[in-house]
Amino acid sequence: MSDFIDDTFKRVEQVIVYNNMNIKSFEDEIGVSNNSIGTAIRRKASFKSNVLNKILNSFPDINPTWLLTGKGDMILKDIISEPASDYTIQNYQIKENLIELLLEDNEVRSVLLKQIKSITE
């Protein structure tokens, strides 16, 4: 049996400090209810995966492995040094390929067209 202790709350606290935020502004930034992060930190509780995903989506420079396990560096250095133009081009190409694949399916195409129509009306 493992002696694993979940110290994720400590790492979340480090992310807050690193970003020069208070708990309230951090909660607002990641889109969670008021005092949920503060309560979890005080109780030294684990975070659900949806909260960890919100943190990683809001702060893409945070190393997911570090956030979950404490291993490695807190900040992903590759993202910081990556040229924005390369990232934008790759991101655009991925989106374009995904749209092409989705449109090949008639059912998906029908749903997408209905959603676009409802948005534009």
Kindly list the domain boundaries of the chain, sorted by start residue: 8-76, 83-120
Enter the tokens of residue 102. Answer: 């989705």
Does this model's pTM top 0.75? My answer is: no
Buried b (16+ CB within 10 A) or exposed e, 35-66: eebbebbeeeeebeeebbebbbeebeebbeeb
Q: Is the pLDDT of residue 121 over 70?
A: no
What's the confidence (pLDDT) of residue 42?
Answer: 92
* DSSP 8-class letter at 75: B
Percentage of the chain exceeding pLDDT 90:
30
What's the confidence (pLDDT) of residue 29?
Answer: 94
**Angle CA 54–49–31, to nearest 5:** 25
Q: What is the pLDDT of residues 1-26, one digit of tens each?
A: 444 457 889 999 999 999 999 999 99
Report, in angstroms and rounded to the nearest whole number, the Rg of the chain calculated over CA atoms: 19
Q: What is the CATH number of domain 8-76?
A: 1.10.260
